Amino acid sequence: SSGSRPPSCRGDSIAAPPPPLAFESEGLRRTATSADPSAPLAPGWEQVKSKSQNAHYYCHRASRRVTWNRTEAVVGDEQDEDGRALAPGWEVARSKSTDSIYYHHLASGRTTWNSSEARIGYPSYWRHASQTSSFLDLVHGGPAFRQVQMLLSSTFLTIRTRDRKSRLPLALEAVRIWRIENSTVWQKYASHRAGLQEMAREACTSLLGCSPPAKTQELLPCEIKKTMSDNVNEIYVFHGTSPSGVAAIARQGFDIRRAAGTACYGQGVYFSECSSKSDEYAAVEEEGLHKGLCAMLLCRVSLGIVLTWPHAEFSEELKIAWNSGHYHSILGDRQQLRGTYREFVLPPKSCFGSYPEYLIVYKRIFDDDCSDSGSP
């Protein structure tokens, strides 16, 4: 309702806000009326008296921000214990008058004591979404199992390429699925994505992507779709490896040093929109808890500006195009060339552009319903 909206700054005058009691939220009313009136205001903030309401509110002149919530405008804690990365354009500063930490946005001049406004957060559906310290957790079960199994099944094609070293299964069936919540790896990814988002904002347009979109996009649940950035071509794609391999990636993220320089489109981390393609690179676990099973990852990838390459192999032309510095990812389109698959590649300079979000342990299903022997 209009009564819950903050006031606005216009020129040298500030429009009178609605009274604090008009807030719909009880929490906001308590905050507005119970903040310590003796706490000093942060740099750039001033207290303003509304004559019509006979009450004070707070205005930040540089950013035009206004609020009834005094805690947004006063000095915060003396120590900054928030482990989340700063968003682009923000820096940590210390008030000389109070010796307390606050945050300053260089371009707009805006300041705040609220670390969540200046730092990169986590997806809202994560178990640890509100945590500010470091964490690494594998979250099992819930709706994610059905959603990821659906992606695994719906993107499986009965197409075999020369990369497959075992016989082609009829389908893939998930045995167990975990969501990887790794604060350190996420912060690297989110910082990379934020840099691309800043580029898109400066260009006032979305970055050039791929056409058609990745097959996984139309199959994603709304809960996940609303957390994605279309303007930087953020997608979900698969990466095949072994159960022991995915465990290492879950802990540390992708290690570009392990990427082969002799791959089709050069050194990089390779992804596919089809589970059947990523399954070609998956290895059957020979022993242990997951003996006889395979593994792959469902990853968030921010493609940025995509270099679509319709040719079969790496070439000097591809090297020249990539070295121009204009692109952030490569799309090897063998679907158009040979009717097989498209592969998405993040070369070394874009290696932080992916986040391994779902770990999938699965089995291959054959027409004789037996496990994969590993032979063609």
Helix (H) or strand (E) segment spanning residue 319: helix 316-323
The set of residues, in sequence order, having a beta carbon less than 8 Å from that of 333 and lying 6+ positions away, is 308, 309, 310, 342
Return the pLDDT at 31. 35
Q: Are the CB atoms for 358 and 297 separated by under 8 Å?
A: yes
pLDDT tens for the chain, 376 residues: list them. 344 444 444 444 444 444 433 323 333 233 333 445 666 777 678 888 887 777 788 887 766 777 777 766 775 444 456 767 787 778 888 887 777 888 888 888 888 877 777 888 899 889 998 888 889 999 987 777 888 999 999 999 999 998 998 899 999 999 999 999 999 999 999 999 989 998 998 888 889 898 899 999 989 888 888 889 999 999 999 999 888 788 899 999 998 887 665 567 778 899 999 999 999 999 998 888 888 999 999 999 999 999 998 876 667 888 888 888 899 999 988 888 788 999 999 988 898 999 999 999 999 999 876 555 454 4
CA distance 305 to 287: 42
Predicted TM-score (pTM) of the model is 0.72
Return the pLDDT at 114. 77
Alpha helices in 165-315 (DSSP H): 183-203, 222-225, 243-252, 275-279
Return the pLDDT at 327. 94
Return the pLDDT at 372. 57
Q: Are the CB atoms for 284 and 295 separated by under 8 Å?
A: no
Return the pLDDT at 355. 97
